[in-house]
Amino acid sequence: MPQHQPYLLRKLVIVGVTRILRSIGSLFSGRAIFECVRVLVLASMCALLGVAVTMHTMPKAFAVAAKPQTDWSFYMLSTSTTTAYNLGCNQGNFDRSFSPPINSEVVLDFGQHYYGNVYMLSGITITHAQVQAMAEAFAHGYWVCTGSDSTSVLTLGIGINNYGIWVTYANGQTWANDVAAIQSYNQSQGYTSQVGMMGAGDLEPGWNSYSVTNSWVQGFSSVKGYDYLDFGSADGCPQYSSNNGSCNNGWNQYDEWYVSWGALPALPTPEIYYDALARQWAMISLYGAQYQHATVYMQGPWDEYDLDNSTLTSSQAWNDLWTDLNNNSSTAQSMIYSLEIHDE
C-alpha cells in the first residue's frame, strides 16, 4: 500500500474548492470544475499547509459541536417524477426557512445495478434515463421552491449499492456518466446555480468483495470531475485498533479507507446506526492518519431512525461520531452535514 505524503492537502484543496465552485455552478460544468480545481490545487498547497497541520494537532475536545439541521435522503421506490419534484420542493422550502438560509446534502438511493438497468428496493426495474429524470425533477423542485432565496446550495447525490454481480467497472463508469448527464441538463435549465450533482454508493463489505467494489470505484473515477458519497457501513471492522485490521468478507481498514476517502472522488457520510459503527469509522480515519498520511474527514453521520427507531437518532449519531473522532488529535475534525434516510 503506497504512502501518500501530499494526499491530505490535495484532498482538502480539491474538496474545498469544488464546493466553492459548485456554489456558482451556473458558470461551471462538472468537467470545468475539475479542471479549475486541478489548477488551483498547486497554487493552494502552501496556503493550506498551516491549516492542515493545525487540524492534525488539535487538542482533545471536551464539548460536542452543535449538530447542523438534518437533511432527509430517500430510498426511491417509484418512477414518479412528480414525487421527486415534491421531495426537492420540500428541501428547498426547508433550506430557505432559515435566516440566513442554509445549504444541504441529499442522496436519492435507487437500489442496485441490474444488467444494464437499476433494480429498486420496491422490486421495480428502471432505466438510467428514469434515474436521470427523477434526479432532474428533484433539482427542479429545489430550485423553484427556494423562491427568493438564491444563496442556498443543495449537493444532490444519486445512490446505488454494491450488491450483486453487476457491480463492475463499466457500471461504475455508467453511474458517473449519469451524474454528468444530470448536471448537464440542470445547467441547461439554470438549476446549477443552486444544485450540484454527485454520485453516491452504499458500499458495504457484507454485500460484495473489495476487489469487485473497487472495480466500480475505478470505473466511476474514470469520469473525471464528479465526486461520490460513500454512505456505506464498515461491517466487522475493528472498534479499538487502527493497524489495518480485518473487516467482514475479506475487507480490511485500508479497503474501507480507500473507497470512502483514498479514491479521489470519494467523500464519506458513514452509516452510524449503533454506537459501535462510530467507533469503527473513527478507527478507519485513524488508520488513514497513521498509515496513509490521510485522515478521513467525514461529511457527517448517516442515520436511519425514521425507518427503525431502535437505532440511533440523528443527534445520537452525530454525538457518537463527533466524540469518537475528536477524542484523538489525529482525527479531530468538524463535520458539516447530518443525513437521515427515509422512504420516498
pLDDT in tens, 267-322: 999 999 999 999 999 999 999 999 999 999 999 999 999 999 999 999 999 999 99
pLDDT of residue 100 exceeding 50, the answer is yes
pLDDT recorded at residue 104: 98
State how far the Cα of 331 lies from the Cα of 25, in Å rounded to an integer.
Answer: 31
- Point out which residues pair with 159 in neighbouring strands: 109, 200
Q: Quickly list H helices, 57-160.
A: 81-96, 128-145
Domains and CATH numbers, the chain: 7-343 (3.20.20)
Q: How confident is the model at residue 62 (pLDDT cuts 50, 70, 90)?
A: low
- 3-class DSSP assignment, residue 217: helix
Average pLDDT over residues 66-73: 97
pLDDT recorded at residue 16: 57
- Across 13-17, 103-107, 110-114, 159-163, least confident range: 13-17
pTM, full prediction: 0.85
> What DSSP string runs through 4-54?
-TTHHHHHHHHHHHHHHHHTTGGG--HHHHHHHHHHHHHHHHHHHHHHHHH
Which is more confident, 58 or 167?
Answer: 167
- Residue 227 is classified by DSSP as -
